[in-house]
Structure 1
Amino acid sequence: MMALTPACEGTLRAFPADTMAMSAACPVVAFEGEYAAGFADPALSHDRSRLSLSLSGVMTVATDGANYVLPPHRAIWIPARERHRVACREGGRLLTLYIEPHLGWQPERCRVFAASPLVRALSEEVALFGMEYRSEGREGAIVRLLMEEIGRMSCLPTRIEIPRDVRLRRICEAIVADPADPRGVKEWAGIAGMGRRTFTRLFRKQTGAGFAAWRREVRLIEATSRLISGQSITCIAYDVGYESPSAFSSMFKRTLGMTPAEYRNHRLASPR
């Protein structure tokens, strides 16, 4: 397997530019490496589609239109030429496959899904091919099966719509960075330089949700990623902006139909 070597600061080197120009004779290349806590990649895009599987740690991926959360045992598909930024909240390992965009059926939009044991095993096997992969024989059959399994995976609720309006975008990015921020619509509207009604109307138009519902979704996604990574329910409740663990648990069960503890046990026991 080809591995990227962490730099002195503990961050991961970018995908080598020369390999992005490889011929179709090597349609899949995989890299595994460790990201240090606080790692943040600049915005970039690739000529190949990207499949990244979080082996440990919690990653965030931001595109021009949405933010995605990637807890352990989750994978994200990023289509070719989609601009994106990767950040790591805590130290973790990431297995990334770069796939020629014309290889089999591929999702046209970013999607996050629970990586089944089969998807994980196939991805790890493909990583062993290095840059010697050919489309014929066993290797080709494994890659085709992996692509088929990716198409069968159901998306998870880890997408947060980001407005196009620059003023609203800055506010949304601030809330994603700190879901516990208690400021309400009136205060955020003032920061955006808008009246409350204008802010509310534009926010709903560009995100498809009211401000309160959108922020609740941000908090929920943040909470689910932390639950899967093993953090305590009490700490999560306060860190995402709830006044008590009971208030957090009530919202969680009302929204997802199960308690935070039940959700964690269910996801860890059934990654698919």
Structure 2
Amino acid sequence: MANQTSSALIDPTLADAAHGPLLFAASNHPAVGPRRTPRHQHARGQLIGARQGLLQIEAGSAHWLLPAGHLAWIPPGLPHALLAPQGFDGWSLYFSAAASARLPGDPRVLFPGALLLAAITRALAWRPAALDAAQQRLAEVIVDELVASVPLPLALAQPRDRRLRQVARALAQQPHDGREVEAWAARIGVSARTLARRWQAETGMGLAQWRQRLRVLHALPQLLAGDSVTRTALGLGYDTTSAFIAVFKREMGTTPARYVRSRGATA
């Protein structure tokens, strides 16, 4: 099934209105099947939330996977593209230039606390118009909570070389693929040494480590959806559950089970 180009969540003139109300809210209509939004940018900063599904975000040279229940912050003026391979249900908040200046200058993914989530839920019911005094106070709470939030290590730099990007795309589609550098080098017509050197230079990590992080990013929505740690590990190409747990802990700073419990689910 071919990807469908999604319509804008909000009137583009509002997303590019850097001044005016502190924030505008927009909810996405649940989409079934692949959906994509071509590379674009806004004068306003954008906070994206996922209710259901998995959203791929390309911003600058980095690539994120946004699992349900998480948030992604995209600063104003940053070109980005969105892809939901299997459909997506989510929302966006668009922040004024003044508010965005108080928020992080780099894109990031985070997990919302209870206060932030409750404030966002209320703000999503607002119309894109001037805020009254109570709404303004709640909008300020949202900004303060975002400023205090801790980013999650869910970014994955993408190689720029077109041949290396073939490898990155193939692994993104099949993260369980365990082929070594030599096999990938033969596939794209370069030497193993060239592939290893360029991959390190363009992504900041070796191919093996890059693939491990990619697998962890793919594991998050599976775990949060209720898949067991063992099933997730085996599906992503690990020979043992313990090997997957070790990689997950190295990347996320905690075990898969603890990560899922901290998000209010069970593994």
Could you state the TM-score of these two structures normalised by the residue count of structure 2? 0.86
Q: Distance in 2 between matches of 1:202 and 1:21?
A: 37
How many residue pairs align between the two structures? 261
Aligned to 1:99: 95
- 1:171·1:188 contact (CA, 8 Å) conserved in 2? yes
Matching of residues 32-111 of structure 1 within 5 Å? 32-33=27-28, 34-103=30-99, 104-111=101-108
Classify 1:254/1:76 alpha carbon distance in 2 versus 1 (closer, same or farther; 3 Å): closer
Unaligned runs of 5+ in 2: none
Q: How far did 1:236 drift?
A: 1.7
Q: How far did 1:30 drift?
A: 0.7
Q: After the TM superposition, which parts of structure 1 deviate over 6 Å for at least 4 consecutive aligned residues? A: none
- 1:54·1:74 contact (CA, 8 Å) conserved in 2? yes
Q: How far did 1:132 drift?
A: 1.8
Q: Distance in 1 between matches of 2:103 and 2:255?
A: 35
Aligned identity (percent) is 27
Q: Which stretch has the larger CA shift, 218-227 or 90-99?
A: 90-99
Alignment partner of 2:144 out of 148, 164, 173: 148
- 2:54·2:84 contact (CA, 8 Å) conserved in 1? yes
Q: How far did 1:23 drift?
A: 6.8
Unaligned runs of 5+ in 1: 1-8
Provide the aligned C-alpha RMSD in A: 2.6
- 1:10·1:36 contact (CA, 8 Å) conserved in 2? no
Could you state the TM-score of these two structures normalised by the residue count of structure 1? 0.85
Q: Distance in 1 between matches of 2:254 and 2:47?
A: 30
Aligned to 1:126: 123
1:241 matched to 2:237: yes
Alignment partner of 2:223 out of 218, 224, 227: 227
Q: Deviations over 1:183-208 (max 9, x none)?
A: 21012122333211121111111211
Q: Secondary structure at the match of 1:98?
A: strand
Q: Distance in 1 between matches of 2:241 and 2:105?
A: 39
1:14 matched to 2:8: yes
Classify 1:120/1:259 alpha carbon distance in 2 versus 1 (closer, same or farther; 3 Å): closer
Aligned to 2:114: 117
